[in-house]
Amino acid sequence: MKLETIIGLEVHIELRTKTKLFCSCPVKSDVSANTNICPICLGHPGVLPVLNEEAIKKTLLLGLALNSEIGEISRFDRKNYFYPDLPKGYQISQFFLPLLKGGFLEIENDGKRKKIDLERIHLEEDAAKLLHGEKGESFVDFNRAGIPLIELVTRPDLTSPEEAKAFLEILHLVVQYLNVSEAEMQKGEMRCDANISLRPKGEKNFSAKTEIKNLNSFKAVEDALNYEIKRQTLLHEEGRPPKTNSTRGFDEKKKITVLQREKEESHDYRYFPEPDLPIFEMKSLPFPLEEIKNSIKELPLAKKDRFIKTYDLLEEEAKILTSDLALADFIEKIISEIKTESEEDRRKFVKLATSWTINRLWPELVKPENFAEFIILISQNKISSASGQKVLEEMKKTGKKPSDIIKENKLEIIGDVEEIKTIAGKIILENKKVVEDFKKGKENALQFLVGQVMKETKGRADPKLVQEILRNFL
């Protein structure tokens, strides 16, 4: 039996706004749990939501860049369900009148372009984050509750896991180009649910679909869909294709999907208009739509085409140069500096500039926003300068953010004086000869001991503090 695969995606993207969707709590990651909270995002009785204009602007910007249509009016609705991550017992979302309908995103897979149609794009608030302990206990962090979240739903236009991955990769780049979100998937700033069903080729009706929830990397999306194709193919071949819609989770370690529940229908959520927020008319927005239309930048694939055409670049070169907006801007600035006599000289210069940038310079560069964070961490004494060197090397190698590198490699400075005292005591006991030298007046001996303590702490202590502690001991 020849089967065809039908895939649709539902993507959630946290917006890069200063504050949450309905209150003035800051949108920040890397802070302690339950610190960016207030009575509004905690859903206390009697509080009222105030809509964040910036979130509306960013949603409209993304939608317009993806050719979606803006309706005449839009409204928020309550999606009712009870879960510990939802302080109000409902989520303010959009069901009946989303901000944007339709549109498309062009993808590139295997050298071929294809337009993937969109169903809708709407704005809602994110839920809090649940963390599960090893002993089965659960914790909830409300920092995420109320962060503006875009939901983008595609039509079932994707026909393979590779296409699904290509869609997410280009969408990821588009939201970064437009400065709508950083969309870091490992931080959950971009998450995806994938719907998949198979049907015999030529069949017009859809089979029951499976929704795979909360995929948080491109690879997870591809792996989960590949597994589902195998599983559902087997069911079709055995003559018992799925009869009801279902929801499954993905086990990244075993690379299998696991049944979670038979699908809830939308009416289970008892949607109704949010009474605390007015309907808004697009023609009376507090900002001109033209302003947003004019701020749409050239999107990645268009930029790539232009680079190939204008600068005579190879496909692969243009792909790398447009894979990051800062890099694309960088190379264009260099090219604009070129003043040559002939077109041939110019072409030669562009070739050299791109190949040196791609092969030599870019791998050495650290993203400006990462470097800024790095300097802040140093200035706040969060890491020692010895650790700073390591962090910088790792930033160049992996492109990761300094705060993530520090966490992963346990490079935070030791702020605990007692801990340093314990280590210093141990070093003194182990180096009696050096201690005697110091007492005889050899200043160098002290430097040796400081070095030993620094070595023991793997460079995570403040050398001045170590010296002071050693001097006191001696």
Q: Which residues bind Zn ion (CB under 5 A)?
A: 23, 25, 38, 40-41
Nearer Cβ to Zn ion (126/462) = 126
Q: At closest approach, how far in Å is the CB of 434 from Zn ion? A: 56
Nearer Cβ to Zn ion (103/148) = 148
Q: At closest approach, how far in Å is the CB of 28 from Zn ion? A: 12
Query: What gap in Å lies between CA 324 and CA 357, rounded to an integer?
Result: 13
Nearer Cβ to Zn ion (41/152) = 41
Q: At closest approach, how far in Å is the CB of 46 from Zn ion? A: 15
Task: Return the residue matching tokens 């001996």.
Answer: 445
Nearer Cβ to Zn ion (53/268) = 53
Are 31 and 143 a contacting pair, CB within 8 Å? yes
Query: What gap in Å lies between CA 106 and CA 129, rounded to an integer?
Result: 32
Query: Of the candidates 7, 56, 16, which has an alpha carbon nearest to the alpha carbon of residue 277?
Result: 56
Instruction: Collect all residues with Cβ–Cβ distance below 8 Å to 330 and sequence separation of at least 6.
Output: 357
Q: At closest approach, how far in Å is the CB of 25 from Zn ion? A: 3
Inter-CA distances, 146 with 22, 82, 341, Å: 7, 16, 58
Q: At closest approach, how far in Å is the CB of 41 from Zn ion? A: 3
DSSP-derived 3-state class of residue 389: helix
Query: What gap in Å lies between CA 334 and CA 229, rounded to an integer?
Result: 47
Q: At closest approach, how far in Å is the CB of 26 from Zn ion? A: 9
Instruction: Collect all residues with Cβ–Cβ distance below 8 Å to 87 and sequence separation of at least 6.
Output: 41, 42, 43, 128, 142, 145
Q: At closest approach, how far in Å is the CB of 23 from Zn ion? A: 3
Nearer Cβ to Zn ion (34/159) = 34
Inter-CA distances, 323 with 109, 153, 174, 299, 332, Å: 15, 24, 10, 11, 14
Nearer Cβ to Zn ion (38/285) = 38
Nearer Cβ to Zn ion (34/431) = 34
Helix (H) or strand (E) holding 92: strand 90-93
CA angle 183, 116, 153 (to 5 degrees): 55
